[in-house]
Amino acid sequence: METPIPEERRQAILEQVNTRPLVKAAELSRTLGVSVESIRRDLIALEEEGLLRRVYGGATRTTPRAFEPAFEKRRVQYRERKLAIARLAARLVEPGDTLILDVGTSVEAVAHALPLTYRGKVLTNSLLVATALAGRDGVEVFTSGGYVRGTEQACSGAACEAFFRDFYADKAFLGSGAVHHEAGLTDYWPDEVSVRRIVIDHAAQTYVMADSSKLGKVAVARVCDLTGLTAVITDGEAEADEVRLLEESGVTVMIAPLDDTSSPSETWEGRTDTASLS
């Protein structure tokens, strides 16, 4: 039997997992003609994408639980979706707005998408956001400080919380681990969750950046109910049923079209023209 390429092999594994309560790594090895070690690597990769759950000796179907891939992988994963979300978010910004830009790859994209005509204050606990905006004419950048987490350069902890308690903003753009119609907004890092709760309380409008892969999933730590948010901004790949469930839970869902490649500065006066409100 010809050994399938990794993508075909992983699809075959998913087909087995989705039709049976439990599949064994040894059995998959025999069926697909590869080593058990190769199967284990496949199972790890599929679990990281949230497509199955590993158990001793094999794997089983996953619950709608979110898994966070490594930062550098997330930075390029679903890139077009995140750029579309960032463009739409940037069009919501008014000249002179005081903004809070949270941590996360989608929020970092918002920082880069802000038009050159933007003038205002930006408060952030992301060193990546601060670097992206530092030195721009008319933009004052304030960073929180605190404990810095790894490659994401995300600040959290008591100093970060105290920083955000002392400020109020017109608009906050939050990252997300997952968004679910019942579980609400969830994430992976409890220290950062507590920071987000303060930000929500201190912003007149709060927008959550969530590409469509995060909808209907649940991460480990709960941030808030969806009713406390102004809107969830997602992309055109979002499933209609997921959007409907979110709306029924009481939150506005804004859909960023993937075919819109205009820059925010080109549509500054009519910044919501290309936004689809579902």
The model's pLDDT over 214-253, given as tens digits with 9 standing for 90+, comes to 999 888 889 999 998 999 999 999 999 999 999 999 999 9
Domain-embedded: residue 67: no
Which is nearest to 103 in space by CA: 53, 157, 35, 42? Answer: 157
Q: How confident is the model at residue 49 (pLDDT cuts 50, 70, 90)?
A: confident
Is the pLDDT at 278 greater than 50, yes or no? no
Domain range for residue 53?
Answer: 6-60
In a domain, 76, yes or no: yes
Tens digits of residue pLDDT in 258-269: 876 655 544 333
Q: pLDDT tens for residues 191-217?
A: 889 999 999 999 999 999 999 999 998
Enter the pTM of the model.
0.69
pLDDT value for 21: 72
Is 179 found in the same domain as 46? no
Structure confidence at residue 76 (pLDDT): 53
User: Are residues 47 and 88 part of one domain?
Assistant: no
CA–CA distance, 225 with 186 (Å, rounded to integer): 9
Are 45 and 84 in a shared domain? no
Q: Is residue 134 part of a domain?
A: yes
* DSSP 8-state code for residue 177: S
Q: Are residues 41 and 131 in the same domain?
A: no
Clarify whether residues 79 and 143 are in a common domain: yes
Q: Are residues 43 and 106 in the same domain?
A: no
- Which residues of the chain form beta strands (DSSP E)? 23-24, 53-55, 58-60, 99-101, 120-124, 139-143, 147-149, 154-156, 169-174, 178-180, 184-187, 203-209, 221-224, 231-235, 252-256, 276-277
**Domain match, 54 and 145 both:** no
What is the reported pLDDT for 75? Answer: 54
**Torsions phi, psi for 180 (to 5 deg):** -135, 140
Same structural domain for residues 158 and 38? no
Note whether 273 and 168 are same-domain residues. Answer: yes
* Domain at 47, CATH number: 1.10.10.10
Residue 66 counted as domain residue: no
On whether both 121 and 154 belong to a single domain, the answer is yes
Number of domains in the chain: 2
Q: What pLDDT digit, counting tens, does each position of 75-101 carry? A: 555 789 999 999 999 999 999 999 999
**Model confidence over 91-144: pLDDT tens digits?**
999 999 999 999 988 999 999 999 999 999 999 999 999 999 998 999 999 999
What per-residue confidence (pLDDT) applies to 271?
A: 35
Q: Which two tokens stand for residue 196?
A: 């987000």
Retrieve residue 33's tokens: 């003609």
Residue 25 pLDDT greater than 80, yes or no = yes
Same domain, residue pair 119 and 33: no
CATH code where residue 98 lies = 3.40.50.1360
